[in-house]
Structure 1
Amino acid sequence: MKAALLAMHYQNDVLHVDGKVRVGVAADDPARPRLIASAARLIAGARANGVLVIFVRIAFAPGYADCLRNCTLFRRVAETGAVLDGEWGAEFYEELAPLPGEAIVTHKRNNPFWASGLEDVVRSTGASRLYVAGIATNHVVEHGARHASDLGYEVAVVADACNTAQAHLHAASLETLAMLADVMNVDEAVAQMEAMP
């Protein structure tokens, strides 16, 4: 079985203590270093075992003309000046950034597959199993896992490489996703990757 990893929204505005987006990690959350360490172990484990890593980012053009403001989440993004393409906030968090040659996909909705080309990139890997991780669990991770499941992929959500600013929302999202995906931790995911032929 061939696999790929979707590493989603590990960006400065989403993950850095000075970032502008607070739906994934609260500003004073002591879990931040654990999340970063878990995500780093997952990405390193994938690379070491030949599992292609696809880095998914959200970013909008200057002026937010491409930001659909039909919901509170995206209205707040535009109001705060978050994840603006070309700015520090939209860049990948340094410890979790892609290496030269690794795939990067930019999207502009909750669903990372929507009008982003992600489906084509995933298909080009030949993977039948997708490991999914990122921030926030109840937004991009859940949307991505649901869409990947609907496309027919075997999906694994790597819980300790995901987070929300409110722990109960993280737990609720994982409970829901357990009907569509395998929910596991980084050590379990990397062990699976190591066992793949």
Structure 2
Amino acid sequence: MKQDIAIVANHYQNENCHPDGKIKVGIAADSAWRQKRLDNAKRLFAGARRAGVPIIHIRLAVPPDYRGVPANTALIREWVELGSWQEGTWGVEFIDGLEPRRDEIVITHTRNSAFYNSTLEEALFSLGIRRLVCCGVSTAYTVEGTVRHATDIGYEVAVASDACSTATHQQHENALAAMRPLADIMTVDEIIATFEG
């Protein structure tokens, strides 16, 4: 087991990963692309669990009336217009196959960075974690926001590039390019090999 590493899995939820979800910017409309990315995330989770690497599941959910959620960006204004990410709805549930196990940490937050206004940093500290593998949907928002925040506060970070997605292939590649100076951009197979090595 890699004692100081954890998976930070962002927003594998119905709202942005399921074809019937309200958010279409998180994962490509192409069903083959969608399924491949989700299958890669499942393989990453399985490899982490075999190696004893903790998985911390980051869940986006806001109050049903959006009280206390500043609609200061076009992205968040769209959430409100669509009635998305509301606590207690099907949309905020984890998508089938990527649900947390009972012994895994789940953290709920309301913004892009998994660290902002959440207990993620405390959870990582309690586990003695210094290195993160970030993955999730979408690459250009929650993954990139989390990577930037993590590196600013001293974590070493890798991104599971083929377990992430965003609205288009080009946006996904642009986000990976933007993160490359900050994080190791790796495939799921490469990451699993480090767990097993």
Fold in common (TM above 0.5): yes
1:111 CA drift (Å): 1.4
Q: TM-score if structure 2 supplies the norm length?
A: 0.96
- Structure 1 unaligned regions, length at least 5: none
- Structure 2 unaligned regions, length at least 5: none
The worse-fitting range, judged by mean Cα deviation, of 33-42 and 117-126 is 117-126
- Spell out, residue by residue over 1:5-40, the C-alpha distance to the aligned partner (whole angstroms, 9 max, x if none): 001100001100100011111334430110110000
Where has structure 1 moved over 4 Å in runs of 4 or more? none
Secondary structure at 2:103 match in 1: coil
CA distance in 2, matches of 1:97, 1:54: 11
1:146 CA drift (Å): 0.9
| Aligned residue among 4, 10, 17 for 1:2 | 4
- Spell out, residue by residue over 1:82-106, the C-alpha distance to the aligned partner (whole angstroms, 9 max, x if none): 1111110000001101011210011
- The aligned residue for residue 70 of structure 1 is 72
| Aligned residue among 52, 55, 61 for 2:54 | 52
Checking the alignment, whether the CA contact within 8 Å between 1:111 and 1:140 is kept in structure 2 is yes
Identity %: 44
Checking the alignment, whether the CA contact within 8 Å between 1:3 and 1:127 is kept in structure 2 is yes
Secondary structure at 2:27 match in 1: coil
Read off the aligned partner of 2:110 and give its amino acid letter.
K
CA distance in 1, matches of 2:184, 2:79: 31
| Aligned residue among 118, 121, 125 for 2:127 | 125
Pairs aligned (count): 195
- The aligned residue for residue 191 of structure 1 is 193
Checking the alignment, whether the CA contact within 8 Å between 2:28 and 2:165 is kept in structure 1 is no
CA distance in 2, matches of 1:109, 1:175: 22
Secondary structure at 2:123 match in 1: helix
Checking the alignment, whether the CA contact within 8 Å between 1:155 and 1:180 is kept in structure 2 is yes
Secondary structure at 2:65 match in 1: helix
- The aligned residue for residue 98 of structure 2 is 96
Secondary structure at 2:12 match in 1: coil
- The aligned residue for residue 143 of structure 1 is 145
Q: TM-score if structure 1 supplies the norm length?
A: 0.96
CA distance in 2, matches of 1:66, 1:117: 18
- The aligned residue for residue 83 of structure 1 is 85
Checking the alignment, whether the CA contact within 8 Å between 1:67 and 1:78 is kept in structure 2 is no
- The aligned residue for residue 16 of structure 2 is 14
